[in-house]
Every structure is written in structure tokens, then in C-alpha cells.
Amino acid sequence: MKARTPFTRPVIYALLGLASLAFLTPFLWLISSSLKPLEQAMALPPTLLPHAYYAAIDGSRSEVTIDFTLQRGGIVADATAGEQAGSRVFLTPAQALARAKELQGAHRVSTGWVHVTEKRDAAEAGNGNPRWDIVPPQAIDSTIRFRWKNYPEALASLGGSAESSDGSGSVSFWVFLGNTLIVCLLGVVGTVFSNAIIAYGFARLKWRGRDAFFALTLATLMVPFPVLMVPLYGVFRELHWIGTLLPLWVPAFFGSAFNIFLMRQFFLSIPEELSEAARIDGSSEWRIFWRIVLPLSKPVLAVAALFHFLYAWNDFMGPFLYLTRKETFTLSIALQNYQSQNGGVQWHYLMAASTVTILPVVVLFFFAQKTFIQGIATTGTKG
Amino acid sequence: MTSRERRQLFAGIGFTSLWIVGLSAFTAYPVLASLYYSFCDYSILKEPVWCGLENYSQLFTDDLFWLSLRNTLFYAGLSVPLGTIVSLSLALLLNSDVRGKPFFRVIFYLPSIVPVVASSMLWLWILNGQVGLLNWIIAPVLNAFGATPPAWLVDPTWAKPALIIMSLWGTGNAMIIYLAGLQNVPKELYEAAEIDGASGLQRFRHVTLPMLAPVVYFNVIMALIGSLQVFTQAFIMSAAAGGGTGTGTDGFPARSTLFYTMHLFATAFYDLRMGYASAMAYVLFILIAVLTWSATKLSRERMSHVQ
């Protein structure tokens, strides 16, 4: 087979390689940041892998954070008297000479050396300031160490702590996950059954008004959501559903124009003879639908189920409109809420929590890749 | 009506009854109600009061309305053509005779299914002015020309382009559709063109593009409708870049990301001017309908020329 693009093969590979790099880098950056301690996530130049650094401070080897590289040399010493008594100071040689009497353990450091601070667990943070020193770069050694702790810590902080500023209590990550799964799974059940039943009525039955009704159904595909937003909110308010998960999954049990269209197309392709034979045997329409058409339609049911799951998992606007209390939040709105409450400083936690919301979608994709690709291809080209 | 016809009608209505309820409650009623509200002074707290065309005439003198419309058209005007170029190019590359197609396809497609909240968080981080990855990558190049990288989401000039760059990362869905379209082009056409001595570029221009035109049309319309309603990523990133100072619907920085749907949302749910918001919704509806209609007309003319 000949290449069908106006390029030669090495050029194509080069372009594909570049494009993959561009598409893949954000993912790598996401995962890499999610496994780093904060100061490494924010360090420039960035490193791909998170490290643990070790250096000797006051003669004892300890884990350290790398703060910055020295732009000029000087003297590091411990002050024993004066205002800075008891703390370590960095001075120019002239300053050090002038204060020689109140200094102890002075040593010379040069340009290019690295300021390091002893790294402490949160538990030890109480006992005074962490010690620091300035050491030559070759005195620092490092190992690759992933900070897996970011994940449990991020998920724990996603729900907010009990003493959060808005006074609301803390909610477990599992509550958010549970809410999301309720919305997704009930929505999928509703989507599959309601649209299959409705599409059967449009595809396999002949009745007066059917075609006009179907045309009306297709016309509703044109309506943008902002047109529906305000009255829909009113409907759910009348039903006292605001603040509950109901507006997010109940409508799925009443069909959607796009899925009706999708399933109708598929049902039309099932030979009519199968239904005729069953009718002659005295089967009811419901029985024909349930026993003959539905079992043959698994591919299209899978496509509808998959895309509804994806839609519900990713949806932000719906939860944002209808959910008011933290206990009812889905993952996407919990993530946004966490970001806005914490001002976006905890990048490593934010990336870990984002990875957790992305992961199920990616796993789902790898298990159902064929359904995904075929689903998009058919809905796209026949739509 | 014979008894057979009546039985058929009952069966038809029976099977579609869920949809009759769903269509009425969740689409038909809202469409009509918001049309009515658009002629009313209405907040959800009080009954609507008829005010005629006042909402619509007010729109014409509302600076924020025009600003949000301009911002949205700027976003759509760049993200739709650029997205089309990127997704079509990727599809063309993948449609050639190369190894590792499934691998590349996964890489290009995956970003499009990432939850928009998560991808917004990720791009907030990548587009960070001080420690973001993008600026670290482009800084050496820009410095060579004596320029410095922009602060993206906190710079009124660059906030919209930042959102457009992010949108390009998610064009994998359109790429899959293009790929399917390319694979449907009959091989005989290429063989015939080759016999006629057409070069690779000529084959692309005179075989691939015309055969793909309906798919391009479909994708462009879908992208256009989507980008005219851009909301979630702009809302999240504007709120985050504003550092909690704004609500997200103020279009931080300096209203540069105040998009149409965001402004509509804020008008309806923060200002509780739901009649006015409904008028805005109908203007958007009409805009989308007109654009879709003209695109259809244009593509019909173009396609009939080709065939």
C-alpha cells in the first residue's frame, strides 16, 4: 500500500514523534508532579523523576531539601552572641571578620555551592527551626524516590479538614467517589434501558405520527444547553431536587435524543424477518424487543453505556448547578472546590487528586478501546 | 382509524412513553419557558412579569454582553480552525503506511476523554507563569529573540490563547472521526489518480479532501457549537488564576475570558436576572442556528462544485 499523504515516511515518523511528545508531555508532567514533594514540583529546571537528597549537616548525614545555588561565596557560621545568637548566618568575609568573636564553626563556601535544609517530617517540625548548611554540589547524593504519600494525603485533604475556613465539616474522598458512581451507574442503567425501549418504538413499529415525532426528536439536538438551563433549574427546584443527586441521573431514565437516534440506526439494521417470524408465533412486541432485538444490539448498548458513563464522570456544569452541600459533591466538583479553597498552592496534591479522577477513565478506555473507537467513528461519520 | 391502526398507535406510544415524558419535561417545557422568560422580568424568587422586548433591547447597549460575545467569537474563531488543522493533520499522518498506529492513536485520543476539571488543573499548572512547564520549554527560544514568555492565564492578552492551546490538546475525538472518514475513501480513487500521474499533493487535494468534505463539515459544526458554549475550563481557570479574588464568572484577568455562557450563567444564577439571561440564551440559539445554516449552505455549494 502506498502512503496517502504528501510526505515521505521518515518525515511522517518525525512528525508523529513530535506530535506524540506534545500530547504525552502533559500526562508525564501530571504524574511526575503528583509524585514529588512540593519544593521539587516547583523547582526550575524541572526534573522528570522525584528524588531524595542527602547531605552532611554538622557532620551527620541527613535527608535535605535543595533550596538554591549560591551566586557568590562567603562564610557560614553559628552566631553565639548578639541579636542572631543561636542561629546560623551567612556573611561576607568582611562581615565575618568584624564579628569574629561572636561566631563559631565558621567555614568558607564558594559560588556554585548549594544551600540545603534538613528535611523533617511534620511530626518533628515542632523542635525549633530545621538546620541548614551550604555544601559543595558533589557532597550531595540522591536517590530516586517517589512520594506515594501524596496520594493518600491529597485524597484526605480533598474533603477539607474539620477546621476549614467555611466551617463545614470534613467529607471523605470515598463519599465523593460514591456520589460520582451513583450518578454514573444509575445514569448508565437509565440510558441503556430507556433509549433502547424508545428507539424500538421509532425503529421497529409503524404508527401514525411516528415520523413527525422522530423529526421533532432530532430537532431538539439543535437546542444549546444554556437555553434549557434556567427553566430546568426551576423544574428541579419545584421537585425539591436541588441539593440532591437526583437531577444528575433521573433524566437519563427518560431518554435522550442523541441516544435514541444512535440506537434507532442500529435497530433498523436488524432484519425485519426475525420480528415477523416471532409475530406469527404470537409473540408480543415487548417480547420481540426483549428476546430478539435487545440481545442482538449489545454493541450499540455498550457504546451508549460507555459514553454516558464518560459524560457523567466528567460532567462539571450539572453538579455545579444542582449540588449545594459538600456531602453530595461528585469528584469533579470536589476537585474544583479543593482548588479554589486552597488557592492552588498545593500543586503536588492537586496533581495527585487530578490523576485519581483521570485514572478510571483511562482504565475504562484500555478495557473498552474497540467500543470507544467504533462508537466515535459511527456516531461521527453517520451523524 | 381501524382497530389494527389503533393497536399500533398504542404500541408506538407505549414504547416511546418515557421519551414523551422526558421530551416534555426536560426539553420542550424548558425551551418554551425560557422563550417566555426572555420577554419577562424574572428572578426565580418571584413570578415572571411581562416586559415585552425590553430584555432584547437592553442587550444591544450592554457592554458586557458585547464583550462576552467578542471574547467567545475570538475563542471560537481560533480554536475551531486550529483544532481542525491539528486533528486532520494527525489523522492524515496516521492514515499513512506507518507502524505503531494503535500506540499513536491512543496517545492522541486519550486527552480528549480526560475530565475537564482535571485537565483544567493540569493546564493551570503547565501554564503557570513562574514555574510552569510550557514557559520553561519556550523561554530559551523566546530569549534568543529578545522576548520573554507571557504569564498566560494572568495576562489579559494571553489568557484566551492559553485556553485555545489547551483546547488543541483535546482534539483527539475529531481525529478519530477523520481517521474513519479517510479509511472510507475508496482505494480505487487513489489508484486511478496515480495512473493519471497525480503527485502525492495532487492526490490529497483532488481525492482526499473532496471525499472527506462531509466529515470535515460535521466536525467543524460540532466544534463550532461546542466552542460557542465554552464554559467549564474557562470558569475553573479564570477562578483559579484570579487566586480566589473573583467568582470565576468575572472573566479574570480584566474580563478577557468573560465568555458568553459564563456571562449568561452569572446573570442567571448570581444576579438572578433570569429573564435577561433567557434573552441571552435565545440570542445564542439564533446565532448557532444561523451559523449552522450558513455552513450547511456553503458546504452544499462547495460540495456540488466538486462532484
Instruction: Please give the full DSSP string across A107-164, using - where no structure is assigned.
Output: EEE-TT-EEEEE---GGGGGSSSPPEEEE-GGG-EEEE---TTHHHHHHHHHT--TT-
CA distance B242 to B234: 12
For the cut 90, the answer to whether the pLDDT of residue A101 exceeds it is no
pLDDT on residue A162: 42
Backbone angles phi, psi at A190, to 5 degrees: -60, -45
CA distance A354 to A317: 17
For the cut 50, the answer to whether the pLDDT of residue A3 exceeds it is no
- Residue whose C-alpha is closest to residue B269's, from A116, A232, A194: A232
Residues of B in Cβ contact (< 8 Å) with A189 = none
Radius of gyration of chain A (CA): 31
The more confident residue out of A155 and A104 is: A155
Chain B nearest-CA distance from A232, in A, is 6
Q: Confidence band (pLDDT; 50, 70, 90) for A17?
A: very high
The runs of H, that is alpha helices, within chain A are 9-34, 38-41, 93-98, 150-158, 173-203, 210-219, 225-238, 246-249, 257-268, 272-280, 285-288, 294-296, 298-314, 317-322, 331-341, 347-367, 369-382
pLDDT on residue A69: 85
pLDDT on residue A194: 97
Instruction: Tell me, yes or no, if B203 comes closer than 8 A to chain A by beta carbon.
Output: yes
Is residue A103 classed as helix, strand or coil in its secondary structure? strand
CA distance B226 to A218: 18
CA distance A187 to A180: 10
Chain B nearest-CA distance from A224, in A, is 6
| Best residue in B10, B122, B286 for a mutation probing chain A (most A CBs within 10 Å) | B122
Q: Which residues pair with A78 in a beta bridge?
A: A88, A104
Q: Test A23 with B121 for CB contact under 8 angstroms.
A: no
Residues of B in Cβ contact (< 8 Å) with A13 = 98
CA distance A159 to B183: 47
CA distance B104 to A15: 11
For the cut 70, the answer to whether the pLDDT of residue A226 exceeds it is yes
Residues 20-39 of B with CB under 8 A from A: 21-23, 25-31, 33-34, 37
CA distance A10 to A78: 62
Please give the residue of chain A at the shortest CA–CA distance from B10.
A207
Q: Test B204 with A5 for CB contact under 8 angstroms.
A: yes
Angle at A237 between CA A235 and CA A240, to 5 degrees: 115
CA distance B238 to B247: 8
Instruction: Tell me, yes or no, if B173 comes closer than 8 A to chain A by beta carbon.
Output: yes
pLDDT on residue A383: 36
Q: Confidence band (pLDDT; 50, 70, 90) for A89?
A: confident
Please give the residue of chain B at the shortest CA–CA distance from A38.
B131
For the cut 70, the answer to whether the pLDDT of residue A176 exceeds it is yes
Give the number of A-B residue pairs with CB atoms closer than 8 Å. 311
Q: Test B117 with A351 for CB contact under 8 angstroms.
A: no
pTM of the model: 0.89
Residues of B in Cβ contact (< 8 Å) with A16 = 93-94, 98, 104
Instruction: Tell me, yes or no, if B45 comes closer than 8 A to chain A by beta carbon.
Output: no
pLDDT on residue A382: 42
| Best residue in A2, A5, A194 for a mutation probing chain B (most B CBs within 10 Å) | A5
Q: Provide the CB-side half-sphere exposure for A91 (13 A, CA).
A: 21
Q: Test B44 with A235 for CB contact under 8 angstroms.
A: no
- With cell 522525584, the residue in question is A50
- Residue whose C-alpha is closest to residue B154's, from B231, B242, B41: B242
Please give the residue of chain A at the shortest CA–CA distance from B276.
A230
Neighbours of A212 (CB within 10 A): 9
Backbone angles phi, psi at A141, to 5 degrees: -120, 160
Question: B182 Cβ partners below 8 Å, 6+ apart?
Answer: A4, B91, B92, B95, B208, B212
pLDDT tens-place values along chain B, 307 residues long: 788 889 999 999 999 999 999 999 999 999 999 999 999 999 888 889 999 999 999 999 999 999 999 999 999 999 999 999 999 999 999 998 888 999 999 999 999 999 999 999 999 999 998 889 999 999 999 989 988 899 999 899 999 999 999 999 999 999 999 999 998 888 888 888 888 888 878 888 888 888 898 889 989 999 999 999 999 999 998 888 876 666 677 888 888 999 999 999 999 999 999 999 999 999 999 999 999 898 888 888 776 655 4
Residues of A in Cβ contact (< 8 Å) with B93 = 5, 7, 12, 15-16, 19
Q: Test A332 with B116 for CB contact under 8 angstroms.
A: yes
Q: Confidence band (pLDDT; 50, 70, 90) for A163?
A: very low
Instruction: Tell me, yes or no, if B184 comes closer than 8 A to chain A by beta carbon.
Output: yes
Q: Please give the order of strands across the beta sheet that includes A141-144.
A: A132-135, A114-118, A60-69, A51-57, A141-144
The region that residue B248 occupies, defined by phi over 0 for left and psi between -120 and 50 for alpha, beta otherwise, is left
CA distance A240 to B266: 22
Question: B264 Cβ partners below 8 Å, 6+ apart?
Answer: A226, A229, B68, B277, B280, B281, B284
CA distance B165 to B75: 10
Residues of B in Cβ contact (< 8 Å) with A198 = 15-16, 18-19
Q: What is the mean pLDDT of residues A149-170?
A: 72
Measured between CB atoms, which of B8, B133, B177 is closest to A380?
B177
pLDDT on residue B204: 84
Please give the residue of chain A at the shortest CA–CA distance from B209.
A5
pLDDT on residue B130: 86
For the cut 80, the answer to whether the pLDDT of residue A5 exceeds it is no
Cell numbers that stand for B121 in this block: 488543573
Angle at B231 between CA B225 and CA B237, to 5 degrees: 140
Chain A nearest-CA distance from B201, in A, is 5
Q: Test B204 with A4 for CB contact under 8 angstroms.
A: yes
ipTM exceeding cut-off 0.85 for this assembly? yes
- Check residue B130 and report its DSSP letter: T
Cell numbers that stand for B3 in this block: 382497530
Q: Please give the order of strands across the beta sheet that includes A103-109.
A: A88-91, A74-79, A103-109
